[in-house]
Amino acid sequence: MPNTHSTQHLLNAGKTDICDLIALKDDIIQTLGNEAILSEIASKSYIHKNGFVKLVYETIEDTVCRLHIYPLGASADKNIHDHRWDFSSTTICGALPMSLFDVSEEGSEKFHTYSKTQNGHLIELKNSCSVQLISEVCFTPLQRYVMPSQLFHRIDEVKELTITYVETYPAKIEFCHLISSVDRSGSETIQPEPLTIDQTRQALALVALKIMELI
């Protein structure tokens, strides 16, 4: 089981440089007129089962750049989880609410590993655990944070349209973990339907518009 975390190991939060978002907006505007790039982005992007749009925008060396669009009422993951990689996130519009947790051995919660397979993913129950809420935070426009890979968290339900720009960094481990009140063991081979080019264009246009509203 990964090490637990105290409030001293929470998110490295701060303000983002508006110039970075302006550069992103300019790049998106150029992308909107390029059918080949739009098609490539669409093939990797989809609507997550929890209701938010995940746009895989580009990969720069080992960094994957994504845009997440949360409509009212969406949440990123209803289970407490960590990740295989560190990532950073900047809020473009709306507000992203998040709960952070300490995890310890023994308890009533179910502790699983989550790994990707060739055709889907595999969830395996490992043992039981207990969780303790250590912080609740909410990130508003131009706020940025860095999430360490093994910090357990949950994105809570958003109350308004929220868009974030996310950069994920090289994986540190082969699988991540999720915590649930029930046994989630099993495999799933259903792949989400990729976005169409029109859906991708509309989503990117919305991101560019929301960045322009910040300037």
Distance in angstroms (rounded) separating the CA atoms of residues 73 and 161: 9
The model carries a pTM of 0.91
pLDDT attached to residue 121: 85
Residue 2 domain flag: no
How do residues 158-215 score in pLDDT, each as one tens digit?
Answer: 999 999 999 999 999 999 999 999 999 987 766 789 999 999 999 999 999 999 999 8
Residue 1 domain flag: no
CA atoms within 13 A on the CB side of 146: 7
215 vs 15, 25, 190, CA distance in Å?
15, 11, 41
To the nearest whole number, what is the mean pLDDT of the chain? 91
How do residues 36-65 score in pLDDT, each as one tens digit?
Answer: 999 999 999 999 877 899 999 999 999 999
Q: Would you state the structure tokens that stand for residue 35, as one six-digit string?
A: 């059918």
Residue 162 domain flag: yes
pLDDT attached to residue 75: 66
pLDDT attached to residue 120: 79
**Confidence class for position 23, pLDDT limits 50, 70, 90:** very high
Residue 120 domain flag: yes
Q: DSSP string spanning 120-167?
A: SEEEEEEEEEEEEEEEEEEE-TTEEEEE-TT-EEEEPPPSS-EEEEEE
Residue 182 domain flag: yes
CATH classification of the domain holding 105: 2.60.120.10
Range of the domain at 90: 7-212
Percent pLDDT > 70 in the chain is 93
Domains held by the chain: number:
1
Q: Inform me whether the pLDDT recorded for 3 exceeds 80.
A: no
